[in-house]
Amino acid sequence: MARTPRNTLSSELIVRTALDLMECKGTDGFSLRGVAAELGVGPMALYTYFRNKNDLYDAVRDHLMALLPAVPEDAAWPDQVRSVCRGLRLLMLQHPCLAQLLAGRPLSGHETARVAEGLLGVLRNAGFEPEVAARTHTTLFTYVLGATSWEIQMAAERRDPEAWRRLRTTMESLSAREFPTVVELAPELARTTGGDEQFDYGLDLLLAGLRVRTPS
Amino acid sequence: MARTPRNTLSSELIVRTALDLMECKGTDGFSLRGVAAELGVGPMALYTYFRNKNDLYDAVRDHLMALLPAVPEDAAWPDQVRSVCRGLRLLMLQHPCLAQLLAGRPLSGHETARVAEGLLGVLRNAGFEPEVAARTHTTLFTYVLGATSWEIQMAAERRDPEAWRRLRTTMESLSAREFPTVVELAPELARTTGGDEQFDYGLDLLLAGLRVRTPS
DNA sequence: CACCGTACTATACACTGTACGTTATCGGAG
DNA sequence: CTCCGATAACGTACAGTGTATAGTACGGTG
C-alpha cells in the first residue's frame, strides 16, 4: 500500500504547506484535504498535529506574525507606533490571508503576544497610563485590521474583471439627484480605497489625536 | 407531490428568511439549503431570485443598511460624524452577521450608497475638499468596521466557554519575563476589547485629529 | 524477540453550493 | 372557456467540505 514512512510530517511542515496553499489558492480555495494531498497523505493525518481546522489557522497566523520585525529602539514614540502599524499592514499585504486569520479568530499564540508586547511597551514608555495604553493599543490594532482588510478586499475585487465591471456599472447607475455627493466624489472614492497615502492619512489622524493627550 | 403554489416566493421573503437564519444560527451555520428548508422549498428554488450565495449576501446587507437612520440635520459636523459612526456600530452589534457581510464583499446597493451619501455630505458641508472628504470617509468607515468586527468577534469568543477558558489559560501562561507589559496590562486589555467607551475613545482620537485639519 | 503507543490510513457521514434537465402551473392570447 | 408558452419550483446529481470512528503497520523500548 506504499504507506508513507513514519515521521515525515510535522507541525512546521504542515503549517508551511498550508500557508503556501492559502497564498496561491486564496483563503476560500484552501482546504485540509488540499494540504493533505499536497503532502501526499490522507486527510486525517493532519489531525495528529492539529485538533481541527481552526487550530491550523491559529498556527499559520502565529507563523506569519513571527515575520514582523522588532520595534526600532531609537525613535520617538509616534514614529515607533507608525513603524509597528505600517509593519503589520505590510505583512498583511504580502500575505493577504493574514487579514482573515486575524479578523476571524481571537488573538493567541506566542508571536502574536510578542507583537502586542512591542506596541504596548512603546505606549507605556511614552508615559500613557495602563488603561489608556490598552485602549490605544486596541484602537490602533483595529484600525490597521479594518483599513488593511478593506484595502485587500478592494484590490481583490479590482483584479476580478467581472466583479469590477459590475461594480463600476452599479456605481455609474446611481442617480445623481438622489446621491449627489457620492456621484461627485466617485473618482476620489475609487482612489482612496487603499494605498500607502490612504493608510497613513488615517494613522496620522489617530496620532494627531493622541498627541493632544500626550502625558507631560 | 404537494408542489408549492407558484408565487409564494419573492426576493423580499427570501432575504428576510436568510437574515433570520443568520441571526439565530450565525453566519457560519447559515446555508442556502437551510433557507430553502425554512421556506419549505427545494434548494434550487432560490436560484430564480439570486444568481448565487454571494448575491443573496449582498441583498441581505442592503436590507440591513436600510435600517440606518438619516443623519441629524441640526448638529455640528463632528456630532453628525459621531452619530453616523455610532449608528453603524449599533446596527452591527444588533445584527452581528453584518460585520462579515460588510467586510467580505464590496460595497454596492442602493441603501449602502445612501449611507455613504450621508457621511460624505456631512464632510463636504463641513468644508473639506473632495479628496480629504473621500479619505476621511474611508478612514472612518474602516475604523468602524475593524473596531466593531473585533468587538463582535471577542464577544462571541467570551460566550463560548470552551474557547474562553483556553484563551484565559494561554494568556496566563505567558512568561512575565518575556512579555512584561502584556502580562501587566492583561486586565486592562480584557476590558478594552469592546464597549461604548472603547469605541468612542478611538472615534474621538480620529475626530480630534480631524479638528486640527478643519477648514476655516 | 515481543510489545505497545502512535503516526498514518480507510471508510463513512452529514453537510455544502450549484449545474442540469424536467414538470406543473399560471397569466394572457385566441 | 380553452389553450399555450413562459417560468417558478422540482429532483437528481456531482464534486467538494470537515471530521468521527475504527483499523493498521511501524518504531522505539522492554
Instruction: Answer yes or no: is A44 CB < 7 A from strand C.
Output: yes
Spacing of A77 CA from D14 C1' in Å: 58
Say whether pLDDT at A1 is over 50.
no
Which residues on B lie below 8 Å from A52 (Cβ)?
A: none
Per-residue pLDDT reduced to its tens digit, A99-152 = 999 998 888 889 999 999 999 999 999 999 999 999 999 999 999 999 999 999
Q: Which three cell numbers stand for residue A156?
A: 481583490
**Test mutation, A172, A192, A214, chain B, max B CBs within 10 A:** A192
CB atoms B208 and A208 under 8 Å: yes
CB atoms B145 and A146 under 8 Å: yes
CB atoms B198 and A124 under 8 Å: no
CB atoms A182 and B113 under 8 Å: yes
Point out the least confidently predicted range of A191-195, B25-29, B67-71.
Answer: B25-29
> Can you tell me the distance from the alpha carbon of A191 to that of A111, in angstroms, rounded to the nearest whole number?
34
Nearest Cβ partner for A138 among B104, B130, B193: B193
Point out the least confidently predicted range of A25-34, A110-119, A189-198, B171-180.
Answer: B171-180
**Superfamily classification of domain A77-212:** Tetracycline Repressor, domain 2 (1.10.357.10)
From A135, A134, A148, A141, select the one nearest B196 (Cα to Cα): A135
Point out the least confidently predicted range of A33-47, A116-130, B86-100, B150-164.
Answer: B150-164
What are the domain boundaries of chain B? 11-50, 77-212
Average pLDDT value for residue range B172-190? 93
From A34, A208, A179, A113, select the one nearest B120 (Cα to Cα): A179
A190 CB-near residues (< 8 Å, 6+ apart): none
> Can you tell me the distance from the alpha carbon of A49 to that of A10, in angstroms, rounded to the nearest whole number?
7
Q: Which three cell numbers stand for residue A73?
A: 529602539
* pLDDT (0 to 100) of residue B3: 65
Q: Which three cell numbers stand for residue B48?
A: 430564480
Nearest Cβ partner for B134 among A120, A150, A192: A192
- Find where cell 510578542 sits: A114
Q: What are phi and psi of B52, to 5 degrees?
A: -170, -175
As a dihedral over the C-alpha atoms of residue B3, residue B9, residue B15, residue B17, rounded to 10 degrees, the angle is -40
CA B199 to chain centroid: 13
Spacing of B41 CA from C14 C1' in Å: 20
Which residues on A lie below 8 Å from B153 (Cβ)?
A: 103-106
Give the number of beta-carbon pairs within 8 Å between A and B. Answer: 193
Which residues on B lie below 8 Å from A153 (Cβ)?
A: 103-106
Percent of chain A clearing pLDDT 90 (strictly above)? 81
Burial class (CB in 10 A: 0-12, 13-18, 19+), B138: buried
Which nucleotides on strand D sit less than 7 A from a protein beta carbon?
A: 7-13, 16-22, 25-27
Q: Judge whether A68 and A88 are in contact, CB under 8 Å.
A: yes
Q: What are phi and psi of A30, to 5 degrees?
A: -75, 140
For residue A7, give the nucleotide whose C1' atom is nearest its CA: C7
Per-residue pLDDT reduced to its tens digit, B43-102 = 999 999 999 999 999 999 999 999 999 999 999 999 999 999 999 999 999 999 999 999
Which residues on A lie below 8 Å from B103 (Cβ)?
A: 103, 149-150, 153
CB atoms B188 and A130 under 8 Å: yes
Q: Judge whether A91 and A78 are in contact, CB under 8 Å.
A: no
Say whether pLDDT at B31 is over 60.
yes
Point out the least confidently predicted range of A105-109, A154-158, B38-42.
Answer: A105-109
Q: Which three cell numbers stand for residue B152?
A: 463582535
Nearest Cβ partner for A209 among B178, B188, B209: B209
CATH number of B11-50: 1.10.10
Nearest Cβ partner for B205 among A145, A193, A206: A206
**What chain B residue is nearest to A116 in terms of C-alpha separation?**
B182
Q: Which three cell numbers stand for residue A18?
A: 498550508
> Can you tell me the distance from the alpha carbon of B28 to that of B78, in angstroms, rounded to the nearest whole number?
37
* pLDDT (0 to 100) of residue B1: 44
Instruction: Answer yes or no: is A4 CB < 7 A from strand C.
Output: yes
The pLDDT-based confidence of A170 (bands split at 50, 70, 90) is: confident
Which residues on B lie below 8 Å from A27 (Cβ)?
A: none
> Can you tell me the distance from the alpha carbon of A26 to that of A155, in angstroms, rounded to the nearest whole number?
13
